Structure 1
Amino acid sequence: MEKNTTSRLTLKQKIGYGCGDAGGLFTFSLMSAFFTRYCLNILGVSTKMLATLLLVWNVWDAVNDPMMGTLMDKAFAKNHDKRGKFRPWILRATPMLAVSAIALWTLPTLFDGVAMLAVLFVCKILYEGAYTMLNIPMGSMLSAMSDTDEERAQLSSARGFGSMAGGYTCSLAFPLILGIFGDTAKGYGIGATIMAICGGVVCFFHYYWTEERHNSAPAEDASNSIKVTDIFVVFRKNRAFLALCVHSLFFCSMLAITGNVGTYMYADVLGSLTMMSTASLISIPCSVLTLAVAPKLAKKVGLARLICAGLLISAVLYLALFGTIMFVNIPAIVYAVWATLASTFSSLAILMQWGMVGEAIDYNEYLTGKRTEGSIYGTFSLTRRIGTTIGSSLGVLMLGWTGYQVGAAAQSASALSGIKALSTLVPAICVLGSWFAFRFIWNITDDVRAKIAAAKQK
């Protein structure tokens, strides 16, 4: 029996869904931008010790996503919570996330030596666990809020806007707070506390303004039928989910590689590191326009076709840019605009992929008779982390292969050519890999959607 409604998504529900990523990123954005500095400069952790801790933390991050997903599936199958499958976890996670974030950025400063490292380690584990408890149900809930390409594209767009709002708020506000209270333990503690409280409030809006409109009621013995090993059956039977995982590995690797070599492209090849800021400013209106237009286009052509078109255009732009910069010296601003356009078209895949995950979940229920949104989304999140890890390591290794010399007054021609290839050719190859996944592995057609819809009515 499925809880269903024929009413359309309301503006309140769309904003509420976007609040999930916005609230989480109030504190999660601090991790990528300020956590290393906090550990090294404020806590005095050595680089070797921090590298070791990061390795352990990343392993924990990788395994807890699918664990959380399976836990949600089994808990709902057993308890049949009337509030839904995902929203109860969001309500539990929100205060835990705020408290653990405040603890992470304050408690370690009260200790020294081994005690400080132990407190830092535990606080980070608790924070990542709380963030997973928020993020996995938030992402999984999209398929429970909508069951059409149009609405899933709208929710994907709302999530993109929320992500931008949370990320940009953190990146703008936190440095200002440090400017007022100083680059000190006090400054980090006050800034993180403000971000955590604001993020918690926004996450509560996410809980209260969303509704699980398309949950299937589990059978009485469903909790015993859901197993951790079910995900291997998903990989074997569900080509759509396999396509998403292949796409994720290629795309997240690309994002990590370009992130690593971006500064070298602007500083060493183009001679203008400050142009990176201009590129970021150019990307903001492009992202806003993409998020606004994509749902309308998805309604006309479908999510899969829209994503494939965007990826193919992006690959052509990257290949043309590669061919140009290998033989012609172009101004930094031309490169910034060109690369941003290529990135904008490819971003359709990352911004709209959440709707595709929803379709893969529906398809899996059709194939197996089990609705395991948590396990599927958690495993998909795991592939994203694996792709990021692969890209981060490869980016550094390939930069070394180019012959790049740290501190050299001028780089060799081979090093500069290598950086150009890493910034343009490698993204083109990765984008084509993502396009291949959606074009040749993804198998949910209009006929398949009709069969899924018919099965839901039984």
Structure 2
Amino acid sequence: MSQSQVAPQPQKLTPLNIIGYGTGDAANNVGWQMMNLFLTTYYVYMGIDPMVVANIFLGARLFQAVVYLFAGNVTDNFKPNKNGKFRRLVVIFGIPLMISVALMYTIPPNSAMNIKIIWAIVTYLLYQLFGALGGVPYGALLGAMTEDPNERQKLSAARNFGSAAVGIIFTFTLATRVNSMDPSKLFLPVVSVFCVLGALGYVFMAKATIEQYTPAPQKKTSPLHSLQVMFSNKALLLVCLATLFMTNPVGSIAPIVAKEVLAVGQPHLISQVTFALTLVSVLAGAVMSPFSPVIVRHLGKKTTWITGAAIVIISSLAFIFVENAWLAVFFIAMNSVGVQFITPCVWAMQADSVQYHEWKTGEKNTEGAAMGALSFTRQVGGAINSWAGPAILSFIGYKSGMNVAQDPSIQTNMRLAVGLVPTIVFAISAILIFFYPVTEKKFRQITTDLKERHAKEAAQA
């Protein structure tokens, strides 16, 4: 059976098609970038206890991980019409997603704390729900638009550009003011405008993109089967476990780190350092993405992962000891670069682990189960990462509220936590990957052996 049913004479993608797809991810990132860059600071400055914030993030992200298990079925069961299938789903879930993002930043400032917490929980859960339901069809849309590898690369580049563009705009509009302006007045006007633009972006994406390919029905994979495959596949298990140990909390609490650690006693630097830390978080992926394939090709996936972890560890330890604010920003930037070394290895190693499993056991067609296992563990890892930033604030005794006097020990303790947490977890990640059995040499042997095995099976059929 062919992998897909091809529409008659599929057309080449136009610049409008590519821009339209990138616009969709720009809309996705209205919520994603606001959550990553500013939501922790907003909740804490609105007076919500940091540990409460951490638990909201953890619970909601785990909830989203469960939703992702069912979002594929929602997409599969949706019937296409003349306006497509995936595009319509992105709009159907994208517009309420934008509404939920705006609502996250409308906590009544003078309400009782219980009201603030309930408001945060409900709106954040809605964001995670619609984000999962809309994210699956948006990802599937790329495959429905083209099967040409070069065109898919262009679509991926447009997606990265859309994400970075939104992050840069938020950095310029919010980062310099987040530590000086009342959060109840700062965020809502900016977020509301971008949510309207995001909703319009989804509509534009639906009009500008095309669906030419209908993926063939795939074998259904249960969560239990995904777990069984993961625990029976050493290579996949190590990759999944290693992704759980990639916690890097500085991005989510960057404005607070800038204010309470790097610019203490230098109030004139607060806005500049906050801007720099936020920009580093936004640009790391965009700057590194063109170089990542070259690095992986020269070092190999396993060595690239360990090298990236080493960069994170060295830069995180250096952050603890440097006093100069701008040198500290540099090491945070290097920390982000190290993470980007690892990111492209994750999915590539998952794909390699499928062939390793077939080579070791003879079991075929475990791609879906392996993808399900890795996707779930990445969601759990994301939940832990979201929890870590505000949890650190709680553990060191940080007091919620804006311009609240903090204990003098906060500066030292926050510096230690921001440096030591990634040092420890990325060291564990590197140790796990050290035992990953599929080196580049081993993978070449596996592919050769499987080709010979498949040829023999075909001859005997």
TM-score normalised to the size of structure 2?
A: 0.67
Query: Is residue 239–residue 350 contact of structure 2 (8 Å, CA) maintained in 1?
Result: yes
Q: SS of the residue aligned with 1:233?
A: helix
Corresponding residue for residue 48 of structure 2: 47
Distance 2:78 2:452 in 1: 26
Which of 383, 386, 404 is the matching residue for 2:383?
A: 386
Query: Is residue 362–residue 452 contact of structure 1 (8 Å, CA) maintained in 2?
Result: no
Which of 12, 24, 30 is the matching residue for 1:26?
A: 30
Distance 2:155 2:302 in 1: 16
- Worse overlay, 237-246 or 112-121: 112-121
RMSD: 5.5
Distance 1:122 1:162 in 2: 28
Shift of 1:132: 1.9
Which of 426, 429, 450 is the matching residue for 2:424?
A: 429
Query: Is residue 251–residue 281 contact of structure 2 (8 Å, CA) maintained in 1?
Result: no
Matches within 5 A, 1:363-378: 367-369=364-366, 371=368, 375-376=372-373, 378=375
State, as a whole percentage, how many aligned pairs show the same letter: 17
Distance 2:418 2:44 in 1: 29
- Letter of the aligned partner of 2:385 in structure 1? T
- Letter of the aligned partner of 1:198 in structure 2? L
State the Cα deviation string for residues 197-218 of structure 1 (Å, max 9, x = none): 2222334565654769794533
Distance 2:392 2:205 in 1: 36
Shift of 1:95: 2.4
Shift of 1:26: 1.2
Corresponding residue for residue 193 of structure 1: 192
State the Cα deviation string for residues 258-300 of structure 1 (Å, max 9, x = none): 8575654424599965545445556777654322322444455
Query: Is residue 29–residue 171 contact of structure 1 (8 Å, CA) maintained in 2?
Result: no
Corresponding residue for residue 93 of structure 1: 93
Which of 244, 262, 268 is the matching residue for 1:266?
A: 262
- Letter of the aligned partner of 2:392 in structure 1? G
Distance 1:308 1:153 in 2: 26
Corresponding residue for residue 291 of structure 1: 289
- Worse overlay, 143-152 or 383-392: 143-152
Q: SS of the residue aligned with 1:247?
A: helix
The alignment status of 1:66 with 2:59, answered yes or no, reads: no
| Structure 2 segments unaligned to the other structure (5+ residues) | 399-404
Shift of 1:168: 2.4
Distance 2:109 2:332 in 1: 45
Change (3 A) 1:293 1:276: same
Query: Is residue 16–residue 205 contact of structure 1 (8 Å, CA) maintained in 2?
Result: yes
Query: Is residue 310–residue 345 contact of structure 1 (8 Å, CA) maintained in 2?
Result: yes
Distance 1:357 1:144 in 2: 23
Query: Is residue 364–residue 370 contact of structure 1 (8 Å, CA) maintained in 2?
Result: no
Shift of 1:72: 0.9
Corresponding residue for residue 128 of structure 1: 128
Distance 1:11 1:421 in 2: 48
Shift of 1:130: 0.9
Shift of 1:232: 1.7
Shift of 1:379: 0.9
The alignment status of 1:347 with 2:340, answered yes or no, reads: yes
- Letter of the aligned partner of 2:337 in structure 1? T
Shift of 1:357: 5.8
Q: SS of the residue aligned with 1:251?
A: coil
- Letter of the aligned partner of 1:227 in structure 2? S
Corresponding residue for residue 202 of structure 1: 201
Change (3 A) 1:10 1:216: farther
Matches within 5 A, 1:51-450: 55=55, 58-73=58-73, 76=76, 89-102=89-102, 122-138=122-138, 159-173=159-173, 190-204=189-203, 209=209, 215-218=215-218, 222=219, 226-253=221-248, 255=250, 263-267=259-263, 273=270, 274-280=272-278, 288-298=286-296, 304-318=302-316, 321=318, 331-350=324-343, 353=346, 367-369=364-366, 371=368, 375-376=372-373, 378-389=375-386, 391-392=388-389, 395-396=392-393, 399=396, 407-408=406-407, 411=409, 416=412, 421-441=416-436, 443=438, 445-448=443-446
Shift of 1:13: 7.1
Distance 2:261 2:232 in 1: 42
Shift of 1:154: 7.5
Distance 2:237 2:392 in 1: 25
TM-score normalised to the size of structure 1?
A: 0.67
Shift of 1:2: 0.8
Change (3 A) 1:54 1:397: closer
Query: Is residue 305–residue 342 contact of structure 2 (8 Å, CA) maintained in 1?
Result: yes
Corresponding residue for residue 401 of structure 2: none
| Structure 1 segments unaligned to the other structure (5+ residues) | none
Query: Is residue 2–residue 216 contact of structure 1 (8 Å, CA) maintained in 2?
Result: yes
Shift of 1:308: 3.7
State the Cα deviation string for residues 63-119 of structure 1 (Å, max 9, x = none): 23233333414762x67869999656434322232344455556x769977999877
Query: Is residue 157–residue 295 contact of structure 1 (8 Å, CA) maintained in 2?
Result: no
Q: SS of the residue aligned with 1:47?
A: coil
